[in-house]
Amino acid sequence: MEKISRLIDSTVLKADATAKDIEALCLEARREEFRTVCINPCWVSYAHTLLAGSSTGVCTVVGFPLGANTPAVKAYEAAQAVKDGADEVDMVINIGRLKAGDDDYVRDEIAEVKKAVGSHTLKVILECCLLTDEEKERACRLCVEAHADFVKTSTGFSKGGATAHDVALMRRVVGPEMGVKAAGGVRSYADLEAMVEAGANRIGTSHGKAIIDSKK
């Protein structure tokens, strides 16, 4: 397994997060060498400054948490995030459009956001707890066709988070080259290990330090 800290996007997405919360997150991430901090867009510029010169990048979210913004808004939000210093963008798909079978809409939206972020990493949040297995498979195929870099299980704001079943399904569909991020409910080293064994190569969690400490 890759060094544990390099698998982790250390996450604070709560609505009441303050500048002090973001500062604490970034200082911890620098010390632990987490892959990224994952924060709301309003904090990207601040986090980028705090993490300058470190091995930790800045990740933010787009169309979060419902995925129901228009494609143009998602693309603008993603482009602005990159301009502010984001290295990675996690977008939420339009779940209703996917469930209605509007594959062209979903694919085109992902492609539009990928174009907006350019060479930066785009992860696509499927919100698996709201989808059937067939819908998850279809969503994964659309992400591959739209040239996203990762598929991601969950926002952490709906009725369920990551499961090993969903991670394994996503890995099977997208193949070995594309990233799979497990997020939502990963709180211990055992949780992380189960997700990695199922096929995840990135973990989104607000319990990163506890996971590291439990392994020591």
Instruction: Please report whether residue 44 resides in a domain.
Output: no
For residue 158, give the 3-state DSSP assignment.
Answer: coil
DSSP 31-51: HHT-SEEEE-GGGHHHHHHHT
Instruction: Please report whether residue 50 resides in a domain.
Output: no
How much is the pTM? 0.97
Instruction: Please report whether residue 176 resides in a domain.
Output: yes
Cite the active site residues: 90, 152, 181
Cβ 167 vs Cβ 157: under 8 Å: no
64 vs 68: CA distance, rounded Å: 8
Query: In a 10 Å sphere around its CB, with 0-12 CB exposed, 13-18 middle and 19+ buried, how is residue 164 labelled?
Result: middle
Range of the domain at 128: 58-215
Q: What is the pLDDT of residues 86-136, one digit of tens each?
A: 999 999 999 999 999 999 999 999 999 999 999 999 999 999 999 999 999
Could you tell me the CATH number of the domain that includes residue 192? 3.20.20.70
Mean pLDDT, rounded, of the chain: 97
Q: Report the pLDDT value the prediction gives residue 1, as an integer from 0 to 100.
A: 62
Cβ 1 vs Cβ 196: under 8 Å: yes
Q: How many domains does the chain have?
A: 1
Q: What is the pLDDT of residues 149-191, one digit of tens each?
A: 999 999 999 999 999 999 999 999 999 999 999 999 999 999 9
Strands (DSSP E) contained in 64-194 are 88-92, 121-125, 150-152, 179-183
Is 216 a residue whose pLDDT tops 90?
Answer: no
Distances (CA, A) of 3 to 8, 81, 83, 197, 215: 10, 28, 30, 14, 11
Instruction: Please report whether residue 47 resides in a domain.
Output: no
Instruction: Please report whether residue 174 resides in a domain.
Output: yes
DSSP state of 202: E
Instruction: Please report whether residue 53 resides in a domain.
Output: no
Instruction: Please report whether residue 30 resides in a domain.
Output: no
- What are the residues whose beta carbons fall under 8 Å from the beta carbon of 181, sequence distance 6 or more? 9, 90, 123, 150, 151, 152, 153, 200, 201, 202, 203, 204
* Residues forming beta bridges with residue 121, ordered by sequence position: 88
Instruction: Please report whether residue 33 resides in a domain.
Output: no
Q: Which amino acid appears at position 137 of this protein?
A: E
